[in-house]
Amino acid sequence: MHTVTQTNLPPYPLLGRGKVRDIYEVDKETLLIVTTDRMSAFDVILNEPVPYKGVILNQITLFWMDMFQSIIKNHILAKDVADFPRALAPYADELEGRAVLVRKAKPLPIECIVRGYITGSGWKDYQRTGTVCGQKLPENLLESARLDPALFTPSTKAEQGSHDENISLAQAADILGKEMCSAVEKTSLALYEAGRKHADARGIIVADTKFEFGIVNDDLMLIDEVLTPDSSRFWPKDTYTTGRSQPSFDKQYLRDWLKRQPWNMQPPPPALTEEVIKKTAEKYREAYTIITGKKLQVPNDQL
């Protein structure tokens, strides 16, 4: 196992290289997804990786997918490199812990976002309009206030380098159809509440998150990443208080550092310092340990 910023696996064609994941076609029904250590922020891929971040994201996702099987099926076929096709054996060290074989799904064309606390772009919308994605909220809420019930606030899926845009439930229904929109709203909220309960018992507040769904043989399935530090805001429960932004176990620390740099949030990004890389890695590893109850095993126990 080692740091991986980009893969090249000649046995199979590369279908896509996203901000973090490399996707290969194994056959007409199967994909190989490799979660690299590339780091992105504000939809820009940064120049420096965060060592073993991809392993952490992949392992957290697998933990949640296993926990959520009673709520919804997922696309995982194999997670152990020993169960991968023999053609991938020469790349086992590169793929260990960070790759999965999955069913090829047709992704839904929206991001399924759930907000359990008012923060980020939702807080900005509320300050301007008193609503979040067209949903009216009570007056005089403080920043970081808990939302009961949590809100399903979908967004568009933008091309790489562009930004997603929040949309209303009516717009989501126009895109997906009313029945499918209702199904993903119900499922997203059920997943969030189950995840929120588990994390809360371990001292982490899941402020918000996004889920990805796809269709396989007419079945709705959970795909991509689930409740990771890249797709969620994780706050420490013991320091939580309303009326301010919160410290976090996710990449908010990195975003805040980038905001302090003389940068316009467009490529090229500023270079990350060794301290920023180290602290970001520590926050990811801490989130993994608290959520799963396990300690990440990496060479020399270094991140």
Burial 55-77 (b: 16+ CB within 10 A, else e): bbbbbbbbbbbebbeeebebbbb
Q: Is the predicted pLDDT of residue 301 greater than 80, yes or no?
A: no
In this predicted structure, which of 1-5, 100-104, 105-109, 275-279 has the lowest mean pLDDT? 1-5
Q: What token pair was written down for 117?
A: 């606390």
- The least confident of 25-29, 124-128, 189-193, 294-298 is 294-298
For residue 111, is it within any domain? yes
| CATH number of the domain enclosing 140 | 3.30.470.20
92 inside domain: no
According to the model, what pLDDT value does residue 296 have?
83
pTM of the model: 0.93
Instruction: Check residue 43 and give its pLDDT.
Output: 87
In a domain, 138, yes or no: yes
Question: Is pLDDT above 80 for 38?
Answer: yes
Separation CA 95–CA 86 (nearest Å): 13
Residue 242, domain member (yes or no): yes
Asked, for residue 50, whether it belongs to a domain, the answer is no
Rounded to whole angstroms, the Cα distance separating 176 from 110 reads: 8
| Residue-range definition of the domain harbouring residue 220 | 107-258
Provide the pLDDT confidence category of residue 162 given band limits of 50, 70 and 90: low
3-state secondary structure 79-128: CCHHHCCHHHHHHHHHHCCCEEEEECCEECCEEEEEEEECCHHHHHHHHH
For residue 249, the model assigns a pLDDT of 84
Within-domain flag for 270: no
Query: Is 165 domain-assigned?
Result: yes
Q: Is residue 244 part of a domain?
A: yes
- Count of domains for the chain: 1
Q: Residues 6 or more apart from 179 whose CB is under 8 A from it?
A: none
What's the confidence (pLDDT) of residue 101? 98
Task: Tell me if 142 sits within 8 A of 126, measured CB to CB.
Answer: no
pLDDT at 303 over 80: no
Question: Which of 222, 211, 200 minimizes the C-alpha distance to 71?
Answer: 222
Give 163's pLDDT tier (boundaries 50, 70, 90). Answer: low
pLDDT at 8 > cutoff 60: yes
Determine if the peptide bond prior to 85 is cis (ω within 30°).
no
